[in-house]
Structure 1
């Protein structure tokens, strides 16, 4: 009689690796698409900040 020498872990391993590949693909899609399916509208913000002028104190005498 032939004995079954395989432990049957190959389908389980393939399922786990396939699941990990799907998760990585979904994360990569969201990273490269800007967090949404259509990319959405882009907003532009222009901020101007003027720092006060700082002068050295006058030397006495």
Structure 2
């Protein structure tokens, strides 16, 4: 009887198929005009009337120079 054992590698077929799909997609994008066009510029004007923040209280005064311990 003939030996029916094959040494086919399914992962290689999957890899070649993936590369083929990638080449076809890149070809279609290039054929259709080169991909995504730049968005048009928009002008945005924002005017906000925010209330002023409350004034902070005065910080405590630091003591005068304290003599060094003897």
TM-score range, shorter chain: 0.3 to 0.5
- TM-score, length-scaled by structure 1: 0.43
TM-score by length of 2: 0.40
Structure index of larger Rg: 2
Larger fraction in helix: 1
Whose relative contact order is higher, 1 or 2, with alpha carbons under 8 Å and at least 6 apart?
A: 1
